Structure 1
Amino acid sequence: PASTPLTTVVDTTVPDTLKVGLEQDTGRSDTDLITQDGQLHIEGQESGSTLEYSIDNGKTWTNSFVPKAGENTVSVRQVDAAGNPS
């Protein structure tokens, strides 16, 4: 018997860069990046991708970010369904 044809898709396209900001900037102005609520507002996530966070300038990535009191620096990227990171 003949084999069934196999159709594959190779995806090497890097996802778009995300837009990341504070959900609520509760400081004296709405642009001072001072807040009582460290929740992030993220735009541009590709359907089917997952978010990853780094607090060490991209050396390690995790699937969550919990802000702490004081200054926080976080990088956010998306990894698409094919495994391509933004």
Structure 2
Amino acid sequence: MERDSSPLSEKAAPPSDASTIRAVGHFAALLLTVLHREQVLDMREFADHLANFATITGETDPPARMAMAYWAGVLREAAHET
């Protein structure tokens, strides 16, 4: 029987909040880079919407606001570089 070496195997430790936030944010940045390149979605526009959503979310969930605001800033910088 083969061992499951995937990161989601039962023996894998759950990720910390910080590593989860980084992983999801990096995934979003990669996805948005491809969508921007293919002219499906403007990265700067998405970053602006994410920043607005973070502000609204912050009224009930300040930690989520912080994570979304951080990634909105990262995506704005990435949009500036493209």
TM-score range, shorter chain: under 0.3
Higher RCO, Cα 8 Å, sep 6+: 1
1 or 2, which has the higher helix percentage?
2
Question: Which protein has the larger Cα radius of gyration, Structure 1 or Structure 2?
Answer: 1
Length-normalised TM-score, structure 2: 0.21
1 or 2, which has the higher strand percentage?
1
Length-normalised TM-score, structure 1: 0.21
